[in-house]
Amino acid sequence: MKSRISSPIEYHRRIIPIRKQIKDFESEIWYLEDQFFENLTQTIIPYTLRIDYLNFLKD
């Protein structure tokens, strides 16, 4: 696939909305992850402990 150079106007029309959608999806993933951990443990688990907790569940 050949890459092409976008003009500044085209960049704002196409790329900026896509970047905004990506940020929205990332925030939705964070929210769903928070809900999952709260429902699973009935407590709020800080993000720094989540990976340790998931590793604990694997063992």
Look at residue 7 in the predicted model and tell me its pLDDT. 81
**pLDDT at residue 35, as a whole number:** 83
Close Cβ partners of 50 (under 8 Å, ≥ 6 residues apart): 33, 37
Can you give the pTM of this predicted structure? 0.50
- Per-residue pLDDT reduced to its tens digit, 23-34: 999 989 888 887
Give the count of beta carbons closer than 10 Å to the beta carbon of residue 37: 19
**Residue burial 20-34, b: 16+ Cβ < 10 Å; e: rest:** eeeeeeeeeeeeeee
